[in-house]
Amino acid sequence: MKTTQMFLTASALALVASAGAQTVRTTQTKTTQTKTVQTSTAQTRPAQVRTVKTPVRPITRSSVQARLNQARVSISPTSGKLELGLTGGYAGGGNVGAFVGYKNLAGPIGVRIGLSRTRNSNGFNDDKDLSGGLLGTIGQQKANGNVTGEAASIQTLSADATYDLGQPLPGVAVGLYGGLRYGALNSRLTFKGGQYTDYSSSALGVGIGSQAGYMITNNISVIGDLGVDQYFPGGTINTRDSQGKTDSFKKGEGGYDAVNAAVRRPGTVAKASLGLKYSF
């Protein structure tokens, strides 16, 4: 009887233990399912997008001026003040020239030295006589074939003070200049048979003008130049022919007036040129 009771008691304890274990497993399974559902819900929730509104700034006169100032600064030269230029144009004939300058030496004032050469085919006055009445005027000698050609050239050395006016427009620089001129003139009269006589002289003068440049890079500018030079001729005229013979005619001496009237020497010369300028 005691043995039977002990067996029943052990069986009851085993059933209770088994029921407890099953309850624990069921609870864990539900907990895992709950976590899985929560994770799935979190993954499928759409992301929120923030929209940032940028205020639109009105266009005003001050803002436009600020933009222009920025553009002016961006294309203004960043190199030194030394300038080298080459030009070509017209100055009483075909003209080529070169100059070197230093701007803003004292405030807006600078200096410039230039050298140019002008050539033309009209170095003498046709209505004047160089033969002393023996052969007639130059025009008459051309007509009868004794004179077959003429040419003239002048080399000019210039020394100018310059004044920088700044940039009235972005990228456009404007300046004024004025100073002294020294011109060396040579006129050649060619005769039948290829013989010739050169008439050379020199003259001092003054000149003024303006130059504008448009910057295509920080160092290189396209330039345009307009000006006028005034020479004061009247000095000695020297001659040299194709055989090497020389002579000179000084003011107040015999023959000077006739030669001076026949040889065209520059007086007032208007000039216009285009070129390139490089700033160091």
3-state secondary structure the chain: CHHHHHHHHHHHHHHHHHHHHHHHHHHHHHHHHHHHHHHHHHHHCCCCCCCCCCCCCCCCHHHHHHHHHHHHHHHCCCCCCEEEEEEEEECCCEEEEEEEEEEEEECCEEEEEEEEEEEECCCECCCCCCCCCCCCCHHHHHHCCCEEEEEEEEEEEEEEEEEECCCCECCEEEEEEEEEEEEEEEEEEEECCCCEEEEEEEEEEEEEEEEEEEECCCCEEEEEEEEEEEEECCCCEEEEECCCCEEEECCCCCCHHHHHHHECCCCEEEEEEEEEEEEC
Phi, psi (deg, nearest 5) at residue 220: -110, 135
Q: What's the first-to-final CA gap in the chain, in angstroms?
A: 126
pLDDT per residue of the chain (280 residues) written in tens, 0 to 9: 444 444 434 444 444 444 444 443 444 444 444 443 344 444 444 445 455 454 555 666 666 566 655 544 444 444 458 999 999 999 999 999 999 999 999 999 999 999 999 999 989 999 999 877 778 899 999 999 999 999 999 999 999 999 999 999 998 999 999 999 999 999 999 999 999 999 999 999 999 999 999 999 989 999 999 999 999 977 899 999 999 999 999 988 888 999 999 999 999 999 999 999 999 8
pLDDT of residue 253: 86
pLDDT of residue 32: 40
The position carrying tokens 């023996």 is 134
Reading the block at residue 216, the tokens are 């295509």
pLDDT tens digits, one per residue of 115-156 = 999 999 989 999 999 877 778 899 999 999 999 999 999 999
Q: Would you say 67 and 243 are in contact if contact means Cβ atoms under 8 Å apart?
A: no
pLDDT of residue 63: 65
Which CATH architecture group holds 66-279? Beta Barrel (2.40)
Taking the CB of residue 41, how many other CB atoms lie within 10 A of it? 9
Reading the block at residue 25, the tokens are 């497993």
Alpha-carbon separation of residue 165 from 103, 162, 226, 275 (angstroms): 11, 10, 15, 19
Cα–Cα nearest to 239, from 181, 182, 183, 185: 185
pLDDT of residue 38: 44
pLDDT tens digits, one per residue of 93-110 = 999 999 999 999 999 999
Q: Would you say 273 and 87 are in contact if contact means Cβ atoms under 8 Å apart?
A: yes
